[in-house]
């Protein structure tokens, strides 16, 4: 792996402000890269292992995804779900115009639309997964719940499996390969989303009053996430076992996604392998916290991220941590 190209992530900083529309292109590029690093330290780190020519396009795609995610979460908390749903519809219209070569020239996302149009012209981004992200936001904003593990997978596919599929034009040797790699790319995205959900159970409840763990499983075990988060105390064995079971589901998806990496463009394989290894390590972070994802959020320090890139010892660490 091209570890020599890896540089330590910069210290955490305040989100950069978007430059004016007439700012020099170099200033705009700097903003896009900084915003990418601010919002995703792990994925932006892995992206440095991708070919240089796709790194900024990947950042642009990620910032589109982040815009949708922010609307469904932080923005909705300010303006309310109904107003946020109207903004999702507006994003949908802007996206369709952008993919048709008519990016909106004004508004808070004008730079994003301009750059996304350029990326689409160069890479022919698939429209379907980009619009699936908007359906994922609608899932959240309409209060739809996760009742079963099938629901969890369906939600993950909307908000993250779609991202895996949308990434393929940057990663394949030619577009003919993309169709055959759609399933493993989505599996990898789904694994990462389930990982994020398992990191954020307490945070999702406290900040958004949302529960993404399958309600069917919680009810069968007599567990209530809200009571567990608000009540504090020791982590029940039943809850730890449920989290471990969902981790195994995520690990199976990582394995499924990993089987497609060999078919990617050679210079793209290290970046996707690195992203998968670093994200998967968050599962061991949850285990290291005693399965307490209710009062704390699992973290993977930079040295640990770099270690799993060089020597993947996930399985050995997992064996030591499993309850």
Supply the pTM of this predicted model. 0.91
**DSSP codes, 239-265:** HHHHHHHHHHHHHHHHHHHHTTGGGS-
Model confidence at 257: pLDDT above 60:
yes
d(Cα 29, Cα 59) in Å, to the nearest integer? 10
The arithmetic mean of pLDDT across residues 8-12, rounded, is 38
Phi–psi pair at 200, nearest 5 degrees: -110, 20
Decide: helix, strand or coil at residue 114: helix
98: Cβ–Cβ under 8 A, 6 or more apart, which residues? 104, 113, 116, 117, 120
CB-based burial label for 268 (10 Å; 0-12, 13-18, 19+): buried
d(Cα 284, Cα 319) in Å, to the nearest integer? 10
Summarize pLDDT for 23-41 with one digit per residue, the tens: 899 999 999 999 999 888 8
Q: Which residue has the higher pLDDT, 243 or 323?
A: 243
Which residue do the tokens 């998967």 mark? 280
Summarize pLDDT for 258-268 with one digit per residue, the tens: 999 999 999 99
Q: Which pLDDT score is estimated for 21?
A: 67
Of the candidates 62, 57, 68, the residue with the CA atom closest to the CA atom of residue 35 = 62
Would you say 145 and 211 are in contact if contact means Cβ atoms under 8 Å apart?
yes
CATH for the 145-323 domain, from 1.10.10.2520, 3.40.50.300, 3.90.1150.10, 1.10.600.10: 1.10.600.10
The arithmetic mean of pLDDT across residues 213-218, rounded, is 98
Q: Which pLDDT score is estimated for 9?
A: 38
Summarize pLDDT for 223-249 with one digit per residue, the tens: 999 999 999 889 999 999 999 999 999
The arithmetic mean of pLDDT across residues 59-65, rounded, is 95
What is the torsional sign of CA 258, 264, 266, 270?
Answer: negative
Residue ranges covered by each domain of the chain: 17-125, 145-323
Q: Which pLDDT score is estimated for 18?
A: 81
Banded pLDDT at 307 (limits 50, 70, 90): very high
């Amino acid at each position: 792996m091209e570890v020599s190209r890896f540089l330590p992530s910069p210290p955490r900083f305040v989100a950069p402000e978007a430059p004016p529309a007439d700012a020099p292109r170099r200033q705009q590029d700097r903003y896009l890269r900084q915003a990418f690093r601010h919002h995703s330290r792990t994925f932006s780190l892995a992206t440095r292992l991708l070919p240089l020519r796709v790194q900024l396009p990947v950042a642009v795609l990620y910032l589109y995804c982040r815009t949708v995610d922010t609307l469904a979460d932080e923005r909705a908390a300010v303006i309310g779900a109904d107003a946020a749903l109207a903004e999702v519809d507006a994003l949908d219209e802007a996206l369709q115009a952008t993919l048709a070569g008519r990016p909106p020239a004004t508004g808070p996302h004008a730079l994003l639309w301009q750059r996304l149009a350029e990326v689409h012209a160069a890479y022919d981004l698939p429209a379907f997964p980009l619009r699936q992200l908007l359906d994922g936001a609608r899932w959240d904003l309409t209060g739809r719940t996760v009742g079963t593990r099938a629901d969890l997978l369906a939600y993950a596919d909307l908000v993250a499996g779609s991202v895996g599929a949308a990434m393929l034009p940057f990663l394949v040797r030619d577009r003919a390969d993309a169709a055959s790699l759609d399933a493993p790319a989505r599996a990898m995205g789904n694994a990462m989303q389930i990982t994020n959900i398992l990191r954020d159970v307490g945070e999702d409840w406290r900040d958004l009053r949302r529960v993404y763990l399958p309600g069917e499983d919680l009810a069968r075990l007599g567990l209530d996430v809200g009571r567990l988060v608000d009540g504090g105390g020791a982590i029940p064995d039943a809850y730890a076992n449920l989290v471990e079971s969902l981790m195994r589901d995520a690990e199976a998806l990582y394995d499924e996604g990993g089987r497609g990496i060999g078919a990617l463009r050679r210079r793209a394989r290290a970046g996707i392998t690195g992203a998968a290894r670093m994200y998967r390590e968050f599962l061991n972070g949850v285990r290291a916290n005693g399965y307490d994802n209710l009062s704390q959020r699992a973290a993977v320090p930079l040295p640990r991220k770099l270690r799993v890139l060089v020597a993947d010892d996930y399985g050995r660490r997992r064996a030591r941590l499993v309850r």
